Structure 1
Amino acid sequence: MRREFAILAILGSLLLAGCSQLERLTLIRPSAQHRGYTQIAPRYDFSGKHGRDTGDAAMLLAAGSMFFQRGQLDEAEEQARKALKAQPGSGDANTLLGLIADARGDAAGAGLLFRSVADAAPANGVYANNYGAWLCANGRAAESLDWFDRAMADPAYPTPVRALANAGDCARKAGQPVRAEASWRAALALDATHPQALAGMAAMAFAQGEYLEARAFVERWLAVAPDEPAALQLAMQVEEKRGDNVAASRYRSRLQAISPGPTTAPRTQ
């Protein structure tokens, strides 16, 4: 069975611009590739002169994805629906419609679309990860874990580290710290610099009062994302707990240089 095509995209600490309810979990967006998975979408002319009425689902989906990234949701939806007409049942077109629904605040509608896509292609890890991320972001963290397991069971899934990091975050939310730590550590075994897993481990160690371990993880996090406010806040609080006010002050200064104003204690995760 031919795989649907997909593009991986993470926007800072959020999944999608303007979709705060999705938090930092990793979703996967559609691309214009005809098979396999890619991290880079091809270049197309999105001026409206080409690729909008050709019946080429890949071109239409690429245009829709670009419109979505620009925040032009009506135009994105138009292209996604044309792609569905050109390729009925396209999982990626329905995924894009789910992202659009979520960006408009229709979390329930987005969930129905993500679930329908995952059900239609039960062996596809991309779609399983997406639905798991939606479940976790919408108060169903424990239920999401099975979907991340499904994603990791897909031998063609290109980035199991993302599903593992998601599983760690969601296991923590579900009150399963042992599984959370195991998932984050497994993610770091695949990618020692994965910021989502480093953040999870740092916050967990801090919450458990393991400040030296928290310090080690937050320093690794900052090595990857030196201007990440959440990392700087956590580093500042770790040093305060350790009694190193000089180090805490340095982190506070770095944080204020990014976001002038009073700093607050970091929210543990």
Structure 2
Amino acid sequence: MRGICQFVVGVCFVLLVGCGTQQQKPGVSDTSTYEVYSRLGFEYLQEGDTGNAKQSFQRAIDMNSGYAEAHNGLALVFQLEGDTALAESYYRKATKLAPDSAMMHNNFGAFLFANGRYEEACQELARATEDPFYNRRSQAFENLGRCYRLLNRDDVAKHAFQRSLQVTPNRPVSLVELTDLLVDESQPIEASKYFDRFLELVEKRQVEHYAKSLWVGIRLERLRGNTSRAATYALILKNLYPDSEEYQQYKESSR
């Protein structure tokens, strides 16, 4: 699929320093051992080897049943394998064992979002944004904004996108989503500020237009009275995304 992935469902695999397959050294504690097994599980998971990943995570849990990282790892494995009931069970165990872990709340929120459980997803994603040191906090705010939009809570969605951009100023999806919300509010000047920042990224070839960005551009230019620019975006939308929902909306709006 061309363009920007509009919502990263699934997980962000964390590379853990020091993991590997080295032999256990004399004097290494059981704590180090279960951590190594868990880290090895994430390595297998990144390689797509879910069988060995499961064995490694289970070994970690056998050694320490309260180790949240390993429960989170098994949740990711079962999510990838399509076993949603088991995935949810392990996500709940992980977040219960590590209630302050932004990563685990974000992963669980993404899982719930993927299964259309938006109310619950928003709650988990909101928990993920609470940690000011979470290295994916801007993404969590962005995901939260998209979640709120699906619940028609545009007021809090706007705040989430703004917070995303405060943390990371040039997140393309947040820029487009904020533009969209401001166009809905008939605020072309404010909307243009965000869309211009998105266009700068396009011009620098850091991102590409996608169906929604083009549809938002059409609506913004119509609001500004720039029919020529709107027509240009419409032509690109027609050529690149003729089967998209956004193109259908454009055709309906042009009747």
Query: Does the pair score TM above 0.5?
Result: yes
1:201 pairs with 163, 178, 181, which one? 178
Which string of whole-angstrom CA distances, capped at 9 and with x for unpartnered residues, describes residues 75-131 of structure 1? 221222223234432211111111111111122221221111111222222222222
Q: Is the 8 A contact 1:252 1:263 kept in 2?
A: no
Which string of whole-angstrom CA distances, capped at 9 and with x for unpartnered residues, describes residues 25-81 of structure 1? 574434434xxxxxxxx574xxxxx34888733333333223222222212212222
2:215 pairs with 224, 231, 237, which one? 237
Q: Is the 8 A contact 2:10 2:111 kept in 1?
A: no
The residue type equivalent to 1:237 in the other structure is W
Measured in 2, the distance between the counterparts of 1:112 and 1:88 equals 14
Aligned sequence identity (%): 20
Q: Does the residue aligned with 2:73 lie in a helix, a strand or coil?
A: helix
1:161 pairs with 138, 144, 167, which one? 138
Q: Is the 8 A contact 2:67 2:97 kept in 1?
A: no
Measured in 1, the distance between the counterparts of 2:195 and 2:45 equals 33
Q: Does 1:248 align with 2:228?
A: no
Moved more, 90-99 or 78-87: 78-87
Are residues 179 and 246 of structure 1, via their aligned partners in 2, closer, same or farther at CA, if it must alter by over 3 Å?
Answer: closer
Q: Does the residue aligned with 1:29 lie in a helix, a strand or coil?
A: coil
Measured in 1, the distance between the counterparts of 2:214 and 2:99 equals 44
Q: Does the residue aligned with 1:175 lie in a helix, a strand or coil?
A: coil
Measured in 2, the distance between the counterparts of 1:175 and 1:127 equals 26
Q: Does the residue aligned with 2:210 lie in a helix, a strand or coil?
A: helix
Q: Is the 8 A contact 1:168 1:183 kept in 2?
A: yes
1:148 pairs with 113, 125, 130, which one? 125
Q: Does 1:24 align with 2:8?
A: yes
1:85 pairs with 54, 58, 62, which one? 62
Moved more, 177-186 or 156-165: 156-165
Are residues 213 and 88 of structure 1, via their aligned partners in 2, closer, same or farther at CA, if it must alter by over 3 Å?
Answer: same
Partner of 1:13 in structure 2? 5
Moved more, 162-171 or 199-208: 199-208
- TM-score, scaled relative to structure 1: 0.67
Listed as ranges, the gaps of 5+ residues in structure 1 are 1-11, 15-22, 34-41, 45-49
User: Matched residue pairs, number?
Assistant: 230
Structural RMSD (CA) = 3.6
Are residues 202 and 140 of structure 1, via their aligned partners in 2, closer, same or farther at CA, if it must alter by over 3 Å?
Answer: same
2:81 pairs with 94, 97, 104, which one? 104
Partner of 1:180 in structure 2? 157
Partner of 1:192 in structure 2? 169
Q: Is the 8 A contact 2:78 2:84 kept in 1?
A: yes
Max Rg structure:
2
Listed as ranges, the gaps of 5+ residues in structure 2 are 222-226, 250-255
The residue type equivalent to 2:214 in the other structure is M
Tell me which protein shows more helix as a share of its residues. 2
Moved more, 121-130 or 219-228: 219-228
Measured in 2, the distance between the counterparts of 1:152 and 1:235 equals 25
Q: Does 1:59 align with 2:33?
A: no
Which string of whole-angstrom CA distances, capped at 9 and with x for unpartnered residues, describes residues 150-203 of structure 1? 333345534432332222111111221100001111111121112342243244
Moved more, 231-240 or 188-197: 231-240
Measured in 2, the distance between the counterparts of 1:129 and 1:149 equals 8
Partner of 1:266 in structure 2? 246
Measured in 2, the distance between the counterparts of 1:195 and 1:70 equals 29
- Which is bigger in relative contact order (C-alpha 8 A, separation at least 6)? 2
Moved more, 50-59 or 119-128: 50-59
The residue type equivalent to 2:109 in the other structure is G
Are residues 245 and 221 of structure 1, via their aligned partners in 2, closer, same or farther at CA, if it must alter by over 3 Å?
Answer: closer
- TM-score, scaled relative to structure 2: 0.71
The residue type equivalent to 2:211 in the other structure is Q
